[in-house]
Amino acid sequence: MDDVLIDCLQYANWSGKVFEEMRDAHIDAVHVTIAYHEGFRDTVLNLEKWHQYFQDYSDHIFQGFYAEDVRLAKETGRTSIFLGFQNPSPIEDDIRLLEVWQKLGIRFMQLTYNNQSLLASGCYEKQDTGLTRMGLEVVEEMNRLGMVIDMSHSGEKSTLQVIETSNRPVAITHANPSWWHSALRNKSDKVLKALSQTGGMIGFSLYPHHLKNGSLCSLEDFCGMICKTADMIGVENIGIGSDLCQDQPNSIVEWMRAGRWTKKIDYGEGSASNAGFPVMPDFYKDNTDFPNLQVGLKKLGMNNDDISKVMGGNWLRFFENSFTLKSK
C-alpha cells in the first residue's frame, strides 16, 4: 500500500519512547509545535533541542523540509518531523524573521494562539480585529515563502479574512466542527466552507475539549463526525491533527494557557475543577492509536481511497502545494 499516514499536530513530551511509538504506528509525518509563547531566542533554543533529537534518534525521525520528505520517510521506515509555531511570538515584531525561520524549516505558523497577537485575534478575545496592519504583511510574506498559515486558535473574523486574503490555501491543523461539538476552539460551518472552497485543510483533533462527550467520546462518534464533514465540505479537505500532548505534565497546559501574559491562572478550555490535561479518550491514548482511526472509518463504510486521503493523502497533497522550493 502506497498510503501515507500524517498527523498534522502534536506537542508531546518528546522521548525515545514517543518516537518508537510513532514508528510502531507507521506514521510518516508529524507536524510538531516548537513554540507557544517563546520569543525568537527561546524558540531557537527549542529548535536546538530538535536538532539533538534528530541526531540522537536518527533511526526513527528526521526533519522534514519538503513534501518529498514524507515519501523518503516511508521508504526509509522513519517519521519526518515538520516544525511549526502555534503563535507568532518567534517572529516578535520583525517580519524578516519569517524567512529566517522558513530556512530553518519552519513550515506552519498560527497567526494567533488564544489571545490577540500583533497579527490577528485569538478565539478567546471578545473583539476580533481581523488582520492587523502587520498581519496583512505577514500573510503576504508567508505566501511568498511557502509557509502555511494555521488558524486553529484564531477568532472567526480573523480566520475568514485570512482565508479570503491569502493567495495560498490556509490550514486549521487541529480543531473540529462546531456543529458536532460547540467550543470556542471549534469551527463554524461558514469557516469550514470558506476553507474548503479555497483548497484549505482541517485536521481533526482528538483533544478532549474539542470532542463531543469529551474524554468519553467514542471512536464511532469521532469517525461519524469525520464522515459527515466529508459529506459537507468534501473528502479532499480533511485530515488528522490529533493535538496529542502525550506524556506532558499538567504544568505544561497551565503554561500553554497563561504563558507570561497573565499573573493569574487561566483555565482556557478547562475549568477550576478540571484544570489539567483532560484524560484522552479510550481509543486515542498515544501515537500507537493512530491506526484506530482507519479501523473506525472503515467500520462506518468509508471506502479505502477516502480513508487513505483522510489519514494522510490530503495532507501530503497540501504539503506539496504549500512547501514550495524557492528557485535560486
Q: Name the site residues for a second copy (rule: CB under 8 A).
A: 40-41, 44, 47-48, 51-52, 62-63, 69, 72, 94, 96-97, 99-100, 103-105, 328
User: What is the spatial distance between Cα 181 and Cα 186, in angstroms, rounded to a whole number?
Assistant: 7
Least distance in angstroms from the C-beta of 104 to a second copy: 5
Q: How many CA atoms lie within 13 A of 93 on its CB side?
A: 1
Instruction: Specify the amino acid at residue 89.
Output: S
Least distance in angstroms from the C-beta of 62 to a second copy: 5
The residue among 271 and 327 lying less far from a second copy, judged by its C-beta, is: 327
Least distance in angstroms from the C-beta of 320 to a second copy: 18
| DSSP 8-state symbol, 313 | I
The residue among 105 and 122 lying less far from a second copy, judged by its C-beta, is: 105
- From the list 98, 105, 245, 266, the residue with the least C-alpha distance to 184 is 266
Would you put residue 14 in left (φ > 0), alpha (ψ -120 to 50) or beta? beta
User: What is the spatial distance between Cα 20 and Cα 12, in angstroms, rounded to a whole number?
Assistant: 13
The residue among 102 and 121 lying less far from a second copy, judged by its C-beta, is: 102
Least distance in angstroms from the C-beta of 99 to a second copy: 5
Would you put residue 244 in left (φ > 0), alpha (ψ -120 to 50) or beta? beta
205 phi/psi in degrees, rounded to 5 = -100, 145
The residue among 61 and 293 lying less far from a second copy, judged by its C-beta, is: 61
Least distance in angstroms from the C-beta of 282 to a second copy: 36
Least distance in angstroms from the C-beta of 309 to a second copy: 26
User: What is the spatial distance between Cα 117 and Cα 92, in angstroms, rounded to a whole number?
Assistant: 10
The residue among 103 and 298 lying less far from a second copy, judged by its C-beta, is: 103
**Residue found by looking up cell 487541529 in the block:** 174
Instruction: Specify the amino acid at residue 154.
Output: S
Least distance in angstroms from the C-beta of 30 to a second copy: 15
| All three cell numbers of 255 | 503554561
Give the Å distances, CA to CA, from 140 to 57, 95, 147, 155: 36, 10, 10, 20
The residue among 40 and 267 lying less far from a second copy, judged by its C-beta, is: 40
